Amino acid sequence: MMKENNSQILNAQPAAGTAIQSATATQQSDSAASSAQPAENKQSAFRKFWTWLNEDDTEDDGLTPEEREAKKRANRVGFAVLYRKELADHLSSKRFWAMFVLLFLVSVAALYGAVGALQQASLQAQAKSTSLGDFMFLKLFTTSGSNIYSFSTFLGFLGPVFGIMLGFDAINNEIAQGTLNRLAAQPIYRDTIINAKFLAGATIVFMTVFSLGGLLAGMGLLMSGINPAAEEWFRLIIFLFMAGVYISLWLAIAVLFSTTSRHAATSALISIALWLFLTMFFSFVATGLANLVYPSAGASAQSLIGNYRLNAGLNRISPFYLFSEVTSVLMNPNVRSLDIMSLVEYQNGAIASYLTLGQSLLQIWPHLVAMIAEALIGFAAAYISFMRKEIRA
């Protein structure tokens, strides 16, 4: 009896081990399946989002893939045609050439005043056996004459007027002439109209800025005889690019008011009023708010620093202030910082040294981002307003 029981126990042990192993494997497979299920859910969710993001909104338009591709191709061709048409309209416009000639004459006068001021300063430095310093070529664009402002000052002040002139009647003029409904009836997407208009205007802006900069650079070389270094050329090119972004910002604002206003005169007046406020009067508002938060009368040094920084932060809302700081950093490598601590160190006799181009770009990088963001916000608002506008025949 005991032998039979022992044999039954011995025979049952392999079976029990097999059952335990099978149960363990089942638990492991269940746990692996449960752990793999969230990953599969995540993958499926991501796949669904990616499919939704790439799906065509015109899937139910009744067109075949070949017809839909032909429609997209026609839209691209229509965009190119409309873009070239807007460029031709700007370049053949008397208004554009009048503004271009005005900017050119003002720039030449500013260059003539800068050359005269630098020659006089050079004679005084020779009499005192001193040197004017490096980066003299850049000073041709930032030095004011005895009776006229510098080229950079004129560009910062009159550049927005040029951008507003290009965009204040971009949309409402088409409505007034009855041509917008004809454009919308063409086999192109609706946003192609406003995209082509803004891109054509921005192209004109950059062409004008670089043309003026190149002409003045050549004239400055002939009139002054200065041999510029490679870094000065790079700084000038970056400065002209920043000027193009700055003017394109005002172009986007003008297109926005052209979209929201029924008449071109209304959009022009609103754009000019905003330009005057942000350029000439916004600094008073920023100073008043800073003095309200940090009173300067009998204040401590920490309060004065807070007043300065708040005032500068509020002023940087204005594109004109941003462009002024960009000009001061790019065209004057001796500007080491835009913070009050740098000014205090300079006044207390800190050793002046020039910054490299990379260090100057690090200082103006936030300004470039801010100007591009403001331009994108203005154009996005114009885009949304145009897409929601009702176009009637």
0.85 exceeded by the pTM?
Answer: no
pLDDT band at 295 (very low <50, low <70, confident <90, very high): confident
For 230-262, write each residue's pLDDT tens digit.
999 999 999 999 999 999 999 999 999 999 998
Q: What is the mean pLDDT of the chain?
A: 82
Percent of the chain at pLDDT > 70 equals 79
Average pLDDT over residues 146-175: 91
Helices (H), the chain: 2-54, 65-91, 94-127, 136-142, 151-167, 172-177, 180-184, 191-224, 230-260, 264-276, 282-293, 301-315, 319-330, 340-347, 357-388
More confident residue, 312 or 188: 312
Looking at residue 8, its pLDDT comes to: 46
Q: How far apart are CA 100 and CA 162, in angstroms?
A: 8
| Residue 159 near residue 247 (C-beta atoms within 8 A) | yes
Looking at residue 129, its pLDDT comes to: 66
Looking at residue 5, its pLDDT comes to: 45
What one-character-per-residue DSSP string does 132-150 give? Answer: --S-HHHHHHH---SSS--
Give 382: exposed, middle or buried? Use CB within 10 Å, 0-12, 13-18, 19+: buried
Looking at residue 74, its pLDDT comes to: 76
Cα 342 to its chain centre, rounded Å, is 27
Nearest to 342 by CA among 358, 363, 321: 363
Average pLDDT over residues 144-165: 91
pLDDT band at 131 (very low <50, low <70, confident <90, very high): low
pLDDT band at 122 (very low <50, low <70, confident <90, very high): confident
* Residue ranges of domains in the chain: 65-388
For 9-37, write each residue's pLDDT tens digit.
444 444 444 544 454 444 454 554 444 45
